[in-house]
Chain A
Amino acid sequence: MTEQSIEQDGEVLIDLKDPILAAFLAWLVPGLGHYYQGRIAKAALFFTCLLGLFFYGLYLGGSSELGWGRVVYASWRTGDKRLPYFCQVGIGLAALPAIVQANRVRNSKAPWWNGFMAPPRVSDNVGDGVDNQPTIHTLHRKLHRYFEFGTVYTMVAGLLNILVIYDAWGGPVISVAGKEEDEETKKFGESDD
């Protein structure tokens, strides 16, 4: 266990504790790495913003008829290579049910949880292990543009969590311009007093 502390914004000393563990926790659940480091306000901000965006995306990309969470699924089948999942999995635990569902479908087993995060059928052919699931075509036709909105929301949430993971590992990235601005703000604050 290595302990690292960095100074930021001129006055705050941050104890990063074990940065590797913090980064892993930050990937697992957004904000958990910061909570582990005692950075509670940022933990709450990351948890609320990222999981809020991710679950709103899941809500948009599903329906009671088709099943929920249709926009997040793992698939590497011919005709359906789901590249957005590589971005979505950045959110951590919340996107991992898709791996479980993809594994079940690959082994010709029916998906769990009413098809939550299960891969859709690539075509109308039966016997591919997902006979009771909607096709990709059906998802696009019935969810219309909300399928794309949901996909983008969940991708953005996953990608933003990479910044959060870096922040948990190494502390805030201080741009030169930002630092100068902060110093100017402080000077103005001092002169006002």
Chain B
Amino acid sequence: MSSFLLAVIGANDLWFALPVIVTVSLVYAATRHEQIGFILPHAARIAVWIVGFMAVVFVILFLLAQFS
């Protein structure tokens, strides 16, 4: 359980990922399309993908910490 507590304590720092996720999503999507109508949905999909990837990595690291 201590690893979960440590993860929760460190969770505040995760907010620092938000500006990077938003910027990376928008800029990457904008280099793939020309119109804002295409850019925004693509950016949203990339943002969801990044957050999902981070969540999977979190779960793997959490389980490793739990059972090691």
Contacts and interface: CB of A to CB of B under 8 A. Distances in A.
Q: Do A and B come from one complex?
A: yes
Given A56-B19, A152-B20, A49 B34 contact: no
Contacts of A173: 31-32
B34 A172 contact: yes
Given A53-B19, A53-B20, A160-B23, A178 B42 contact: yes
B17 to A, nearest CB: 10
B34 A9 contact: yes
A163 B23 CA distance: 12
A1 B19 CA distance: 38
A133 B61 CA distance: 39
Interface residues of A, number: 33
Interface in B30-68: 30-36, 38-39, 42
A45 interface: yes
Contacts of A182: 33, 38
Interface string A15-55: 00000000000000000000000010110011001101100
Contacts of A50: 23, 27
Contacts of A39: 34
A172 B32 contact: yes
A98 B3 CA distance: 41
Interface of A: 8-9, 12, 14, 39, 41-42, 45-46, 49-50, 52-53, 56, 145, 149, 152-153, 156-157, 160, 163-164, 166-167, 171-175, 178, 182, 185
Nearest 6 CB-CB pairs, A to B? A167-B31, A8-B34, A49-B23, A163-B31, A160-B27, A53-B23
11 contacts: A9-B38, A45-B26, A49-B23, A49-B26, A49-B27, A50-B23, A53-B23, A153-B19, A163-B31, A164-B31, A166-B31
